[in-house]
Amino acid sequence: MSMHKSLKDFEKVIRECVKCGVCQAYCPAYLATRREGAVARGKIALAAALLDGGIGLEERLQQDIGMCLMCGSCMHKCPNTVPTHEIVGAIRREITDKQGMSLVGKGVSALLGSRVLMKTLAKSGAFLSPLLFEKIPETSGLRLRFPAPSMKGRTVPKIAFRNLFDRFPEFIEGRADKPVVGFFAGCSITYAYPEIGEAMITVLQRMGYPVFLPKAQQCCGIPALSAGNGRLVDELALANLEAFRKRDVQYIITACASCNGGIGAYRSMKVDSKDLTGKLIDFSVFLQKEGLFEELAGMEKRQDRVKVTYHDPCHLKTQGITREPRELLKALPNVDFVEMENASSCCGLGGTFSVDHYECSRAIGAKKIPGLQESGASLVATACPGCIMQLQDSINHAGLKMKAVHILDLLAAAWR
């Protein structure tokens, strides 16, 4: 039996959508297309019709259900907090269950578990050097996010020669009076941006915390969730639970907003995930809790400060984590923080969305540009590697000189 909720399980919340249309103002898929089929309300109407038997999984329905970044922006502002992203996930699983991977995960599923195909793709020189790509587990979301050679012109992360697991042991000693903290690094940080992970571990070490970085940790599962591959999410969730049970840790920290959302999504699965989800904490919230902001604010401001603005990753914004990252940036001695317009609008990456809908994904990303430009900042900092990559892609297409970075990059630089 699947550990996931089925569409039927959502029946009650589906009926709670009052069709007010508020989600139109916040749904990135709608704002890029202004088509009712793309907005949360439209998807809920389809979900209700599916439940009533008024419609089957017709092709157009699959396309509309595909038009979702699973960002949760709609639920965040919905007067009745209808969880459209979870409902979309359930419909996508239904689609994959009934007819195998479909339009939703087109091309994506075929790659899963198929080493041969993976190699061929990699060899075609699509964008990754085959040797390095092989180091990424087959279940990793990175393979779901960037599988296709068809994404011409897309800025993709280079796969690091030495990944995070090559750089650190599984257990990093700390002070005896400090509790052990776990670090859930996630695929993007581990393989594409290990320097962000390095910064995280360095910060924790500096503060005296022993760090547990279990190498058995897997992808959080968000790309698989987005592709409707429930079976794979089950597998990953169980493996991650197992990996972190190996040691008694007080917190499990993430530095990737998507991973935080992905692990958090285990809460709505039919499995007891408290050992993991009960300890889950975003790095900025953790650092504030532990008093690091005051220490930073006490440091002498640098002469050569850079102007930095902040982009809200959907997976933090929807949990109400918007203050902490900004306060951290404001506290940094090497940063001049400026707010920008549309800071909280989605970057457009959205799980596997940009694979199937690169054009729309780009259109959503382009909406960030005026705000970025007007802010006058030279860097845009954020708290999610996925956003960094997508923002950089949008910036490059617009021909701006800005750079997208992780807050931890700046924190590490402050101490250098």
Partner 1 sequence: MDEQVLKELKGIVGQENVFTELTDRITHSYDATQERHLPDVVVYAGSTAEVSSVLKLANRHLVPVLPRGAGSGFTGGSLPVQGGIVLVLTRMDRILEIDMENLTAEVEPGVVTAELQRQVERRGLFYPPDPASKEFCTMGGNVAECAGGPRCVKYGVTRDYVLGLEVVTPTGDIIKTGGRTLKNVVGYDLTRLFVGSEGTLGIVTKILVRLLPKPEAKKTMLVQFETIDGAAKSVSAIIGARIIPATLEFMDAATIACIREASSISLPEECRAVLIIEVDGDKEILDQQVEKILAVIRPFGILATRIAATDTESEEIWQVRRIVSPSLRQMGPDKFNEDIVVPRSRVPDMIRALEKISTDYNVPIVNFGHAGDGNIHVNIMVDLQANGMAEKVEKVLSEVFRTVIDLQGSISGEHGIGTAKAPFLHMELDAATISSLQRIKAAFDPNNILNPGKIFLESSPQRPAEASSR
Ligand X SMILES: Cc1cc2nc3c(=O)[nH]c(=O)nc-3n(C[C@H](O)[C@H](O)[C@H](O)COP(=O)(O)OP(=O)(O)OC[C@H]3O[C@@H](n4cnc5c(N)ncnc54)[C@H](O)[C@@H]3O)c2cc1C
Residues near ligand X (CB under 6 A) are: 20-21
Q: Min. distance of Cβ 73 from ligand SF4 in angstroms?
A: 4
- Please choose, from the candidates 85, 17, 93, the residue with its C-alpha nearest in 3D space to the C-alpha of residue 315: 85
78-117 binders of ligand SF4 (CB under 6 A): 78-80, 82, 84-85
Residue 3 interacts with ligand SF4 (CB under 6 A)? no
Q: Which does 12 bind (CB under 5 to 8 A by kind): ligand SF4, ligand X, partner 1, none?
A: none
* Shorter beta-carbon distance to ligand SF4: residue 91 or 281: 91
* Shorter beta-carbon distance to ligand SF4: residue 73 or 218: 73
* Shorter beta-carbon distance to partner 1: residue 79 or 100: 79
Q: Which does 40 bind (CB under 5 to 8 A by kind): partner 1, ligand X, ligand SF4, none?
A: ligand SF4
Q: Min. distance of Cβ 20 from ligand X in angstroms?
A: 4
Q: Which of 13, 32, 65, 69 forms a contact with ligand SF4 (CB under 6 A)? A: 69
Q: Min. distance of Cβ 25 from ligand X in angstroms?
A: 10
Site of interaction with partner 1 (CB under 8 A):
18-22, 24-25, 34-37, 42, 45-46, 49, 54-55, 58-61, 63-64, 79-80
Query: What does the block give as tokens for 220?
Result: 């959080």
18-57 binders of ligand SF4 (CB under 6 A): 18-23, 26-29, 40-41, 43-44
Residue 149 backbone phi and psi in degrees, to 5: -70, -10
Residues that bind ligand SF4 (CB under 6 A): 17-23, 26-29, 40-41, 43-44, 68-74, 78-80, 82, 84-85
